[in-house]
Amino acid sequence: MNTPLTTERADVSSDLQWVHAQLEEIVTASVRVQVAQENLARAEALARDHLEDSKVRFLLLRLKESAGLNEGMAEQWATLLQECPDDLQIVRYCATRLVKERHLDEALSLVDRHLPASSENPSRLFSRAKLLSDIRAHEQSDQLFRRLILEHTDRNIRVEFAKRLRKRGLLADAYEAIRPVAAHLAPGSKAAELATALAADYAFFKGLEPEGGLAGKDVRIVSMKHAILHFRNRKIAEQPPEKAVSVALVTGSLGPGGAERQLTRLAGELTRMAAQPDRQLPDVVMRPEKVEVMVKQHTEPAGSTKKKQGLDFFLPVLVQAQIPVTEINKLPAISVAHQSVPDGRLGRMLEQLPPPVHYGVTRLAPVLRANPFDVVSLWQDGTCLFGALAALLAGVPTIHLVFRGLPPNIRKDRFREEYPELFQALAQVPGVYFVSNSRTAAEAYAQWLGIPVVRFHVLYNGVPDLATNASPADEQKWEAFKQATADATETVGGVFRLEPDKRPQLWIKMAAMYLKRRPQARFVIVGDGRLHDNIVALAEELRVVDRLLLVGLSNHVGYWYSQMDASVLLSRYEGLPNVLIEAQLLGVPVISTPAGGAGECFVENETGHLLSDVEHPDMTEACDKVESMVDLVRSNESLKAQSRKRAQDLFSLDAMLSKFLSLCVPVMAVSENDERIDFPQMQRMLA
C-alpha cells in the first residue's frame, strides 16, 4: 500500500510523462514553420510547471527551432548542455544552432570536445561523422564515413552515408555507397526502400547526363536543368504586332532598393499607357493591356519576432496607382502531383528540384496558369531562380530575365550553384530574353555564362524628373541642420542604403578627410540600413558627427539633392545606379566608384568623375574629385543644364518604356554552338 508521499510522487511522475508525451506529439506534428509557430503557445503552457525538467526544455527548444525563432537560442541550448553534457542530441542542436548563427569554428570545436577524432570507438566515430554532416562540415564528414566503410563491415554505416549524400542531392555518390550492401538489406525495411529508390533514380538520371556526368553532381540541379531543356523545342504562336499584351512584373520584395524602385516605376508607366489608348511612343506598336506585380514577400510572416526593414517600402505607390499586387508567399503550395504535367519524365524531374525552384513551381506556376500573362518579367537572379521554370510550365510566351547588377560569380555572397546551369539552359529556350540595365553588366554575364553577348538587351533605368518639394519633417531636419552648420559653404551628399555593398563606412572616412581640407563643408546621407549604428559610432570617432545629417528613408529625395553641391557614391557593386541619374536630373555633379554601369550614367569631367579603383578606392583621389566638381559647377552654370539634358535624353521614362515594350515579343533561342545562326545578323535584328 502506497504512503501519501509515495502516491504524490507517483502522480507527479505520471503527470510529467504525460507532458513529455504531449510535447513529443506537438514537436512531431510541427514539421512546417507556420504550424510550429501556431503550436508554440500551447506547448509553452504545457511546459510552464515543468521547466526544471531537462527533457521538457529540450522538447520546447526543438519546437522553437522548428518555429524559426533565433533570439537567445544559442545561449539556451548551451545552458541545457551544461546540465546534460553527455546528451549527444543536445550537442547536435547546440552545434547546428552555432552554424545557423555562422559560428562554424565554434561548432567544430564543440564536436571535437564531445566526439574527438582521436577516439578508437567505432560507435563514437560513427556519431562524429553524422554530427559533422549535421553542421555541414561535409568534407570532413565524407572522409570519416569512407574511412569507417573501409575499416568496418557494419551495413548501417553505408546506409547512413547514402541517406545523407542523397539529402545533399549527390545521387550517384549515394547509389555507389549503398550498392554493395543493397542485396543484403532486410526486405521491406527503410534501408531496402532507400536502396531501391536510389537505384531507380540513378538509372533515370543516368539517361539524361553523359557517362559519368552524375558523379559529384547535385541531382536537384540536374533536374532543374533538364526540366528547363524540356522546353527548348517549344512552339510559340505568332502574335500580331498590334496585339495588346498582359505583363506580370515579378520580384523578391518591395524594399527601398534601386531594382524595386525601377520595377515600381515601370509598372506605373505601363499602367498609365494601358489607360491611355491615344498615347503613342516612337517606333513602338506593342501596347500593354493588363499589368500586375508579383512579389515573393512584402509582409512579415506570422509569429516573426524580428521585423525586416522596408519590405513594403514601394507598396503604397503601387496601391495608389491601383496596380494589383500578389504576394507569392501567401499563395497555396500545390504539389506537382496535383498539377497538370502531361509528360511523365518531366513530372519526375519536377519532383526533385532545388528548394527555391520547387517553391516557384508549387506556388507561382499554378497562379500563372489560372491567370495567364503574355509576358512574365523576372527581376534579379533570385527571382529568375524561382520564377523561370514556373513561367515555362505555365506556358508564358515571353519571359524576361532582368539582371540588375554584376553577376553572382563576382558577387560571391549572392552566388548559388544553380545559377550557371539555370541561365545556360534558359539560353536554349525560345521566348527567353536576357536583359540588363547596363552594358557593363551584360558583358560580365555573357562572359561568365559563355552566352553570346548578342543575347543580352540593355534596358536603361527610366528616371522621372524629380520634384524638389519636401515633407514638413524633411524641412524641419534640414533647417535644424542648417542652423547647426551655419558657417557651411558647401554640402556634399549621398543617397544610398546603409548596407555593406554601399560601403557607408568608407563614405564617412572620405567625409572626415574632406573636412580637414575644407572645414566649412557639411555632409548629408539619405538612406537607412543595418549599418546605421556603425555609421553613427564611426562619425563620432572621426569627429564628423556635428557636420553630418543622417536623413534616413525619405520619399522626397529630390528635395535633398537640391541641397547638395555634389553627390558621392562609393559602392563596391552596382547595376546602373539610379542615384547618379537622379542627381544629374537636378544638375548635381556626381563622383562614383567604377561599380557596374556607373560610368555609363554621366560624362567624365563634365557632369561627374569616376574613381580609378572599385575594390580599393583612393580617398585622396575621391576628395580631389569632389573638390574639383564642386568648384567646376559653381564656375560654370551651363554644366548643370548639360547634366539635366543628358540624363533626360538617355534615361527618360519614355525611353525605358519603348525599350521594354520592344522586348515583349517572343524570340527564338540562340545557342553559342548553333552554327546556323548568323550572330552579326541576329544582333542587327535584335538591336
Q: What is the pLDDT of residues 454-468, one digit of tens each?
A: 999 999 999 888 899
* Residues 293, 325 contacting (CB under 8 angstroms): yes
Which stretch of DSSP H or E encloses residue 669? none
In the predicted structure, residue 136 carries a pLDDT above the cut 80: yes
- What's the whole-number mean pLDDT along residues 215-238? 94
Q: What share of the chain is helix, strand, coil (3-state, %, to 5)?
A: 55, 10, 35
Range from 58-72, 233-247, 669-683 carrying the lowest mean pLDDT? 669-683
Instruction: Determine how β-strand 375-379 pairs with β-strand 244-251.
Output: parallel
* Mean pLDDT for the stretch of residues 531-536: 96
Average pLDDT on 317-343 reads 93
pLDDT value at position 668? 58
Hey, what amino acid is at 360?
G
Longest dimension (CA), the chain: 105
- CB of 31 within 8 A of CB of 66? yes
Residue 672: the pLDDT is 42
**Residues 7-28 pLDDT 10s:** 444 455 678 899 899 999 999 9
Question: Is residue 306 over pLDDT 60?
Answer: no
Checking if the pLDDT of 481 tops 90, the result is yes
Q: Tell me: the pLDDT tens digits for 284-294? A: 778 899 999 99
430 φψ region: left (φ > 0), alpha (ψ -120 to 50), beta (else): beta
Q: How far is CA 609 from its chain centroid?
A: 31
What would the mean pLDDT of 251-260 be, rounded to a whole number? 90
Residue 607 or residue 243, greater confidence = 607
Kindly report, residue by residue over 411-427, the tens digit of the pLDDT: 888 899 999 999 999 99
pLDDT at 676: 33
**Residue 213: predicted pLDDT:** 84
534, pLDDT greater than 50: yes
**pLDDT computed for residue 517 by the predictor:** 95
Which cell is 326 given? Answer: 500578389
CA distance 422 to 357: 10
Using the Cα atoms of residue 385, residue 391, residue 393 and residue 396 in order, give the sign of their dihedral. negative
Tell me: pLDDT of 29 over 90. yes
* pLDDT tens digits along 189-220: 999 999 999 999 999 999 999 877 899 999 99
Cell of 256: 527601398
Pinpoint the alpha helices (H) of 450-531: 472-484, 504-517
CB of 100 closer than 8 Å to CB of 71: no
Q: What is the pLDDT of residue 293?
A: 98
Determine what percent of the chain is predicted with pLDDT higher than 90: 75
Highest mean pLDDT among 308-322, 525-539, 647-661: 525-539
3-state secondary structure 171-233: HHHHHHHHHHHHHHCCCCCHHHHHHHHHHHHHHHHHCCCCCCCCCCCCHHHHHHHHHHHCCCC
**Cα Rg of the chain (Å, integer):** 30
Q: Is the dihedral of CA 453, 422, 657, 570 positive or negative?
A: negative
Q: What is the pLDDT of residue 344?
A: 85
Q: What's the whole-number average pLDDT of the chain?
A: 90
Helix (H), strand (E) at residue 374: none
The band of 506, judged by pLDDT with boundaries at 50, 70 and 90, is: very high
Question: In sequence order, which residues have a C-beta less than 8 Å from that of residue 243 and are 6 or more positions away?
Answer: 286, 374
Q: How confident is the model at residue 278 (pLDDT cuts 50, 70, 90)?
A: confident
pLDDT at 682: 35
Q: What is the mean pLDDT of residues 509-518?
A: 97
What is the per-residue pLDDT across 580-600, written as a single tens digit (0 to 9) for each? 999 989 999 999 999 988 999
Mean pLDDT of 495-507: 96
| Cell numbers standing for residue 593 | 566608384
Average pLDDT over residues 294-323: 78
- Residue 129 predicted with pLDDT over 70: yes
Q: Is 535 helix (H, G, I), strand (E, B) or coil?
A: helix
Q: Strand locations in 257-392, DSSP E?
A: 287-295, 325-327, 375-379
pLDDT of residue 241: 66
Amino acid at 462: G
Average the pLDDT over 353-371 and give the result: 96
pLDDT at 432 over 90: yes
Identify the three-state secondary structure at position 64: helix
- % of the chain surpassing 70 pLDDT: 94
Averaged over 380-390, what is the pLDDT? 97
| Residue 522, pLDDT above cutoff 90 | yes
What span, in angstroms and rounded, lies between the C-alpha atoms of 431 and 170?
32
Determine the pLDDT at residue 404. Answer: 87
Indicate the pTM of the whole model.
0.79
Q: Which pLDDT belongs to residue 685?
A: 35
Burial 608-617 (b: 16+ CB within 10 A, else e): bbbbeebeeb
- In contact, 277 and 259? CB cutoff 8 Å: no
State residue 307's pLDDT score: 46
* pLDDT for position 9: 43
Which cell is 523 given? 555632409
Cα 441 to Cα 402, 499, 590, 667, distances in angstroms: 11, 21, 20, 22
For residue 471, what pLDDT is reported?
93
Q: What is the pLDDT of residues 653-675, one digit of tens each?
A: 998 999 999 999 877 554 444 43
For 57-102, the pLDDT digits (tens) are: 999 999 999 998 888 999 999 999 999 999 999 999 999 999 999 9
Please state the length of the chain. Answer: 687
Residue 681 burial class via C-beta count within 10 angstroms: exposed 0-12, middle 13-18, buried 19 and up: exposed
